[in-house]
């Protein structure tokens, strides 16, 4: 009973093949040409404010050596007068503009415009 006669159709399997393991040699997945793929922009981690997780526009450096977006760290200090990273005491008066970092961010943005 388990044998098939020559020329007759074999019984289909009792369950379908696992996803992606079919007998077709062509892929059903859409492909993206390399020319269509968007280049990935890797933002230097030092450009990202640890509070907002956004690229800083007006970076300031605190006494603990960490840089933050000015408005974000001012709001933080008003609620809790310590560093969000090192927990050392901070005051608004201790914040200094981080002009070097700002120049680096501006240069990077010029070289990596977004749409």
pLDDT in tens, 21-33: 444 455 454 444 4
Please state whether the predicted TM-score (pTM) of the whole model is above 0.85: no
CATH number at residue 68: 3.30.40.10
Is residue 88 included in any domain, yes or no?
yes
- Of 108, 105, 107, which is closest to residue 49 (Cα–Cα)? 105
Is residue 63 included in any domain, yes or no?
yes
Q: How confident is the model at residue 41 (pLDDT cuts 50, 70, 90)?
A: confident
Residue-number span of the structural domain to which 66 is assigned: 45-111
Is residue 98 included in any domain, yes or no?
yes
Mean pLDDT over each residue of the chain, to the nearest integer: 80
Is residue 27 included in any domain, yes or no?
no
Percent of the chain with pLDDT over 70: 64
């Amino acid at each position: 009973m388990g044998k098939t006669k020559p020329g007759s159709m074999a019984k289909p399997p009792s369950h379908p093949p696992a996803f992606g393991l079919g007998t077709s040699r062509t892929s059903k997945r859409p492909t993206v040409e390399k020319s269509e793929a968007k280049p990935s922009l890797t933002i230097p981690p030092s450009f990202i404010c640890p509070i907002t997780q956004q690229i800083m526009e007006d970076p300031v450096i605190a006494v603990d050596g960490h840089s933050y977006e000015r408005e974000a760290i001012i709001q933080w200090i008003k609620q809790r007068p310590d560093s969000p990273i090192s927990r050392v005491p901070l005051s608004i008066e201790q914040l200094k503009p981080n002009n070097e970092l700002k120049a680096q961010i501006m240069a990077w943005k010029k070289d990596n415009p977004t749409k």
